[in-house]
Structure 1
Amino acid sequence: MKFNYYIPTRILFGKGMLNRLSRQELPGKKALIVTTGGTSVKKYGYLARVEEQLDKAGAEHLLFDKILPNPIKDHVMEGAALAKANGVDFVVGLGGGSAIDSAKAIAIMAANEGDYWDYISGGTGKGLTPPNDPLPVVAITTTAGTGTEADPWTVTTKTETNEKIGGGYDKTFPVLSVVDPELMLTVPKRLTAYQGFDALFHSTEGYLNCTAYVLSDLYALKAIELIGKSLAAAVADGGNLEARADVALANTLAGMVESTSGCTSEHSLAHAISAYHPQFEHGAALISVSRAYYTHWAKAGCCDERMVDMAKALGRKDAKEPMDFVAALEELMRACGVDDIRMSDYGMKREELEKYARNARETMGGLYEVDPAPLSDADALKILEESYR
Structure 2
Amino acid sequence: MTEERDVTLAIDAMGGDAGPQAVVDGVAHAVKGGLKTRFIFFGDKAELEPLIAAHSHIADAEIRHAENVVSMTDKPMHVLRRGHDTSMWAAVSALDGGEAQAVVSCGNTGALMAVARKQLGMIEGVERPAITALWPTPRGRTVVLDVGANVEATGDQLVQFAIMGEAFFRALTKAPKPTVGLLNVGAEDLKGHDLIRTAARVLREADPDMAFKGFVEGNDISKGTVDVVVTDGFTGNVALKTAEGAARLLGQWMKETLTGTWNAKLGALLMAPGLRKLKARIDPSSNNGGVFLGVNGIVVKSHGGADARGVESAVKMAASLAKRPFGDEVASTVKTVMDRRQRIAETAADDDTIKAAAV
Which TM class, normalised by the smaller chain length?
under 0.3
Work out which structure has the larger RCO, using CA pairs closer than 8 Å and 6 or more positions apart in sequence.
2
TM-score by length of 2: 0.26
